[in-house]
Structure formats: structure tokens, C-alpha cells
């Protein structure tokens, strides 16, 4: 059993990597993002996840709480009462116990901060002692979804250098410091992040994995094709940022587009079909399509064409946010945390100017 002392605000607390024996009663969990709920033999619910930015919340009255984990793939945050995060790096199958909290009501939140594309983690619940009292986290009346690529993920956004190894990309990617949670938390909204680095609308970075695309991954609960997402999630606002991977590199020999113009046309038509499918699932949602001005404005120009074509065919709930002048000092010339703050402000300003979208 491993013990760690730490400070939560002005409280001195004891954290313990404990054994599975002696777990108390499970708390009611509010899950944010796409998770695959699974029941154990003793009817305990666990949550498997792979998309970025997943979070779990619970409330209780007492002095201790156990966090049961099975994740050797991710870096996770544990946040108690909005205090600075306790950071766990690939904790594996363990129970993390937080003890010696002040007697009274508390909130706890578990966050996934790293990106996993070919693996998943599992959260097996928050637990308190039998004599303590369970609380409940209410779902927000506001719901916002973000669909995108590495910019939406927060790829390497905390890096001090643009030159990164694979391990450094993993270590410096912090989705929770990206623009998505900033926007959602500003509006006190529940959120989903359905994004994957390197993927585009019709073409992935440098033509890799030609049989896959973000629209093809989108229907699934995990970031693979193992389980279709069956849900009641109905966001009022859907922000989509796709196109960097479609256009950031030249077409390679053997790719299916005979010319750049053919790629552009395929992008526009497929993007429109994707939005139409989202509209069928979300008849009242408002769309915001975002893009940078990079690559001589090629992405922005064709996002504008997507919007114009859809409006010409009767779509009325669609807008755009375009961003420029970012520093791109994260890994491999990706946005930094400072850039994420700038993009978040653009989105916050846009949404704040249109409060009716939440209705």
C-alpha cells in the first residue's frame, strides 16, 4: 500500500493506493463524454472510455472517498472541491483513497487529460464509507459538443518546444487545458469532445489510414468501431473543427484524388453530408464551424463554401468562427495553451452574443 501526503486548499490530506478490500458504497456518477457502461458480476457499474476529455463527477458528505481505476494508458486528474488537481500517470488497476477531508459536503471529479487512439481505460467508481452520505451532481441544462482533430484534442499544448517525441506528445497533451473545457466551463455546460488527432473529413494527415476519417469514427462509443453510440445526448450547440489534416500536406502518389480540386470538392460534399447526418440526430442544435487561416486560407475558404451551400439549401442554424495570429508553439507547430485561451475567447464571445442558442 502506497501513501502520499498532499494539500487540498488549506486541508492536509492523506492519499493511499489501497487494496480492493473494504470498499464502501458507490456514489452516483455523472459522466461527461462517451463512455461504455459495463456491469460486473456483483452489479457494479464501470465506465470504459477512449475519446478525449472524458470526465466523471460525484458529490458526498463525509471525510474520505475511494477512486477505483483500471487505466494504464492515460494521465488522469483527480480534483476535490475545485482545488488543484492530483495527477496520476498511468495508474493501472488500483484504488486511490483520499482521506482526512474536513467533515462536510465535498465534490470529486476525475478527468482524462491525454489522448488514446488505439486503447481504452476504465473507471470503476467512487466509493464512500457506509456511514457517509451520497450526494448527486445534476446534469447541466446546457450541453455543447466539440468535433474535431488535434486542435480540439489539445495535442502537445503544454510543450515548451515544437520538437517532440511520441512520448513527449503524450506527456504534454492536456485536453483539460484546451479550448473546449474553457468554453464549456465558462457557460457551466456539460460537454463532449469527439476528436482524434490526425483525422480529417475525407483525408487524414499526409494520406495515412485512407480507410478511416473522423466522420467514420464518429458513430462509435469508443475511438474505434467496436460499439455504436446509443444515447440520449442532445447538445444545443455543436462546434466542429475539421480540415487541417485534409489540406495541410500535398496529395501523395496513389491517393484517390487526381487533383487538389478533386480533394476540395470531396471535402465540401462529404462535410455537408456529415452535417446533414448530425442535423437528423440533433434537429434543434446550432452548428459552429471553425477553422484557422493557415495554408493560404484553403481550409477557411472551403468551410465557408460548406456553410454557403447548406444555407442555400435551407440550413439556418449554422455559423462560423475563424481564428488567426496564433503562435503554434505546441508540439509539431500545434496551438499552445495560450493559443487555446485565444480560441476559447472567440467561441465564448460568439456564443455569448447569441444566448438564444442555448434554448
10 Å CB burial of residue 99 (0-12, 13-18, 19+) is middle
Choose the catalytic residue: 50, 120, 150, 196. Answer: 150
Q: Are residues 116 and 260 in the same domain?
A: no
Q: Are residues 285 and 305 in the same domain?
A: yes
Q: Are residues 45 and 108 in the same domain?
A: yes
Q: Are residues 197 and 103 in the same domain?
A: no
* Number of structural domains the chain divides into: 2
Q: Which of 95, 117, 134 is the last residue of a domain?
A: 134
What is the pLDDT of the chain when averaged over all its residues?
Answer: 94
Q: Which of 104, 134, 164 is the last residue of a domain?
A: 134
pLDDT in tens, 116-135: 998 999 999 999 999 999 99
Q: Residue 21 carries which DSSP code?
A: T
Q: Are residues 231 and 248 in the same domain?
A: yes
CATH of the domain at 158: 3.40.50.1110
Cell for 66?
475511494
Which range, of 22-26, 285-289, 297-301, 328-332, averages the lowest pLDDT? 22-26
pLDDT in tens, 213-252: 999 999 999 988 889 999 899 999 999 999 999 999 999 9
Task: Give 50's contacts (C-beta < 8 A, 6+ positions apart).
Answer: 116, 117, 119, 120, 121, 222, 223, 224
User: Is residue 28 flagged as an active site residue?
Assistant: no
CATH of the domain at 21: 2.60.120.260
Please give the pLDDT value at position 102.
96
Cα–chain center distance at 42? 30
Q: Are residues 186 and 330 in the same domain?
A: yes
Q: In whole angstroms, what is the distance from residue 327 CA to residue 175 CA? A: 18
pLDDT in tens, 292-334: 999 999 999 999 999 999 999 999 999 999 999 999 999 999 9
Task: Give 251's contacts (C-beta < 8 A, 6+ positions apart).
Answer: 207, 257, 259, 260, 263
Please give the pLDDT value at position 39.
87
Q: Are residues 191 and 288 in the same domain?
A: yes
48 forms beta bridges with 36, 122
The residue segments making up the domain with residue 310 are 143-358
If you average pLDDT over residues 280-296, what whole number do you get?
96
Please give the pLDDT value at position 181.
98
Q: Could you tell me the sign of the dihedral formed by the alpha carbons of 140, 146, 152, 153, in that order?
A: positive
pTM of the model: 0.93
The three-point CA angle 327-329-330 to 5° equals 130
Q: Are residues 77 and 190 in the same domain?
A: no
Q: Which of 134, 162, 183 is the last residue of a domain?
A: 134
Report CA-CA distances (Å) from 59 to 52, 111, 132, 307: 23, 15, 11, 42
Amino acid at each position: 500500500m502506497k501513501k502520499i501526503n498532499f494539500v487540498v486548499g488549506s486541508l492536509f490530506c492523506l492519499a493511499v493506493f489501497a487494496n480492493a478490500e473494504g470498499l464502501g458504497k458507490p456514489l452516483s456518477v455523472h459522466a461527461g463524454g462517451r463512455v461504455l457502461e459495463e456491469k460486473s458480476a456483483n452489479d457494479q457499474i464501470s465506465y470504459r472510455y477512449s475519446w478525449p476529455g472524458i470526465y466523471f463527477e460525484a458529490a458526498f458528505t463525509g471525510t474520505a472517498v475511494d477512486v477505483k481505476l483500471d487505466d494504464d494508458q492515460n494521465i488522469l486528474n483527480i480534483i476535490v472541491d475545485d482545488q488543484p488537481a492530483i495527477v496520476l500517470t498511468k495508474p493501472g488497476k488500483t484504488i486511490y483513497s483520499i482521506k482526512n477531508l474536513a467533515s462536510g459536503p465535498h465534490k470529486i471529479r476525475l478527468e482524462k487529460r491525454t489522448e488514446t487512439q488505439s486503447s481504452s481505460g476504465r473507471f470503476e467508481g467512487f466509493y464512500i464509507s457506509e456511514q457517509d452520505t451520497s450526494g448527486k451532481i445534476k446534469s447541466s441544462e446546457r450541453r455543447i459538443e466539440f468535433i474535431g482533430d488535434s486542435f480540439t484534442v489539445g495535442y502537445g499544448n503544454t510543450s515548451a518546444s515544437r520538437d517532440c517525441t511520441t512520448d513527449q506528445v503524450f506527456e504534454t497533451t492536456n485536453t483539460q487545458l484546451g479550448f473546449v473545457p474553457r468554453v464549456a466551463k465558462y457557460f457551466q455546460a456539460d460537454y463532449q469532445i469527439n476528436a482524434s488527432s490526425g483525422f480529417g473529413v475525407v483525408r487524414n494527415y499526409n494520406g495515412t489510414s485512407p480507410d478511416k476519417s473522423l466522420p467514420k469514427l464518429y458513430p462509435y462509443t469508443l475511438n474505434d468501431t467496436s460499439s455504436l453510440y446509443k444515447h440520449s445526448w442532445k447538445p444545443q450547440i455543436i462546434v466542429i473543427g475539421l480540415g487541417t489534416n485534409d489540406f495541410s500536406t500535398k496529395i501523395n502518389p496513389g491517393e484517390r484524388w487526381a487533383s487538389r480540386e478533386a480533394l476540395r470538392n470531396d471535402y465540401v460534399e462529404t462535410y455537408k453530408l456529415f452535417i446533414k447526418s448530425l442535423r437528423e440526430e440533433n434537429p434543434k442544435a446550432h452548428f459552429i464551424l471553425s477553422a484557422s487561416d493557415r495554408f493560404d486560407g484553403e481550409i477557411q475558404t472551403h468551410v465557408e463554401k460548406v456553410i454557403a451551400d447548406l444555407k442555400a439549401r435551407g440550413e439556418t442554424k449554422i455559423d462560423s468562427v475563424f481564428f488567426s495570429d496564433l503562435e503554434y508553439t505546441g508540439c509539431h507547430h500545434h496551438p499552445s495553451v495560450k493559443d487555446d485561451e485565444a480560441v476559447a475567447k472567440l467561441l465564448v464571445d460568439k456564443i455569448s452574443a447569441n444566448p438564444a442558442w442555448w434554448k
